[in-house]
Chains A and B, each alone.
Chain A
Amino acid sequence: MTLSRDQVRHVALLARLGLEPGEEDYYAEQLSRILDHIERLQQVDTDAIPPTAQVVEVLPVMREDEARPCLSQEAALANAPETEDGFFVVRAIQEADPG
Chain B
Amino acid sequence: MTQLYALTIGELAPLLRDREISAVELLDAHLRRIEAVDPKVKAYLRLTPDLARAQAADADRLFQAGAAGPLTGIPVAIKDVLCVEGVETTAGSKILAGFKPPYEATAIARLRAAGCVFLGMTNCDEFAMGSSTENSGFFPTHNPWSLDKVPGGSSGGSAAAVAAGEAVFGLGTDTGGSIRQPAALCGVVGMKPTYGRVSRYGLIAFASSLDQIGPLARSVTDAALVLSAVAGPDPNDSTCFDRPLDLSQLEAGVRGMRLGVPKEYFEVAGMQAGVRESVEQALAALEGTGAELVDVTLPHTDYGLAAYYIIAPAEASSNLARFDGVKYGLREARAESLMDTYLQTRRQGFGAEVRRRIMLGSYALSSGYYDAYYLKAQKVRTLIKRDFDAAFEHCDAVVSATSPTVAFEIGAKTGDPFAMYLNDVLTLGGNLAGLPGVSLPCAPAGGLPVGLQVLAPQFREDVALLVARAYEQAGGARAEVARVA
| A-to-B contact residues, CB < 8 Å | 3, 7-8, 10-12, 14-20, 27, 30-31, 33-35, 37-44, 46, 49-56, 58, 61, 63, 71, 75-76, 78-82, 88, 90-93
Q: Contacts A41-B380, A55-B433; is A81 near B325 (CB within 8 Å)?
A: yes
Establish whether residues B309 and A38, one from each chain, have CB atoms under 8 Å apart when the complex forms.
yes
Knowing that A44-B376, A56-B434, A61-B238 touch, tell me 18 more A-B residue pairs with CB under 8 angstroms: A14-B362, A16-B321, A17-B359, A18-B343, A31-B356, A37-B309, A38-B373, A40-B303, A44-B379, A46-B376, A49-B382, A52-B379, A55-B195, A58-B238, A58-B241, A71-B103, A79-B100, A81-B326
Q: Contacts A34-B417, A52-B385, A63-B235; is A80 near B327 (CB within 8 Å)?
A: yes
Q: Contacts A56-B195, A56-B241; is A91 near B381 (CB within 8 Å)?
A: no
Q: Contacts A15-B359, A55-B195; is A41 near B385 (CB within 8 Å)?
A: no
Establish whether residues A11 and B337, one from each chain, have CB atoms under 8 Å apart when the complex forms.
no
How far apart are A59's CB and chain B's nearest CB, in angstroms? 9
A91: chain B residues at CB < 8 Å are 335-338, 340-341
The DSSP consensus for interface residues of chain B is helix
Using CB atoms, name the residue of chain A closest to B233.
A61
Q: Contacts A17-B350, A17-B358; is A90 near B326 (CB within 8 Å)?
A: yes
A20: chain B residues at CB < 8 Å are 347
B385: chain A residues at CB < 8 Å are 52, 55
Which residues of B from 238 to 279 have beta carbons under 8 Å from A?
A: 238-239, 241
How far apart are B367's CB and chain A's nearest CB, in angstroms? 9
Question: CA of A40 to CA of B308 in the docked complex: distance in angstroms?
Answer: 13
Is B307 part of the binding interface, using a Cβ–Cβ cutoff of 8 Å?
Answer: yes
Establish whether residues A71 and B417, one from each chain, have CB atoms under 8 Å apart when the complex forms.
no
Q: How many residues of B contact A (CB 8 A)?
A: 73
B289: chain A residues at CB < 8 Å are none
Q: Contacts A11-B363, A46-B380, A51-B375; is A56 near B458 (CB within 8 Å)?
A: yes
Which residues of B from 275 to 314 have beta carbons under 8 Å from A?
A: 300, 302-303, 305-307, 309-310
Is B366 part of the binding interface, using a Cβ–Cβ cutoff of 8 Å?
Answer: yes
Establish whether residues B235 and A34, one from each chain, have CB atoms under 8 Å apart when the complex forms.
no
Establish whether residues B458 and A11, one from each chain, have CB atoms under 8 Å apart when the complex forms.
no
Is B378 part of the binding interface, using a Cβ–Cβ cutoff of 8 Å?
Answer: yes
Question: CA of A50 to CA of B380 in the docked complex: distance in angstroms?
Answer: 9
Is B328 part of the binding interface, using a Cβ–Cβ cutoff of 8 Å?
Answer: yes
Is B405 part of the binding interface, using a Cβ–Cβ cutoff of 8 Å?
Answer: no
How far apart are A12's CB and chain B's nearest CB, in angstroms? 6
A27: chain B residues at CB < 8 Å are 355-356, 359
Using CB atoms, name the residue of chain A closest to B346.
A17
| Binary contact readout B400-421 vs A (1 if CB under 8 angstroms, 0 otherwise) | 0000000000000000011001
How far apart are A39's CB and chain B's nearest CB, in angstroms? 8
Most buried by B among A15, A38, A43, A93: A15
How far apart are B126's CB and chain A's nearest CB, in angstroms? 14
B194: chain A residues at CB < 8 Å are 56
A30: chain B residues at CB < 8 Å are 356, 417
Using CB atoms, name the residue of chain A closest to B100.
A79
How far apart are B359's CB and chain A's nearest CB, in angstroms? 5
Is B377 part of the binding interface, using a Cβ–Cβ cutoff of 8 Å?
Answer: yes
Is B473 part of the binding interface, using a Cβ–Cβ cutoff of 8 Å?
Answer: no
How far apart are B143's CB and chain A's nearest CB, in angstroms? 26
Partner among A17, A39, A51, A82 whose Cβ is within 8 Å of the Cβ of B343:
A17
Is B444 part of the binding interface, using a Cβ–Cβ cutoff of 8 Å?
Answer: no
Establish whether residues A76 and B433, one from each chain, have CB atoms under 8 Å apart when the complex forms.
no
B307: chain A residues at CB < 8 Å are 41
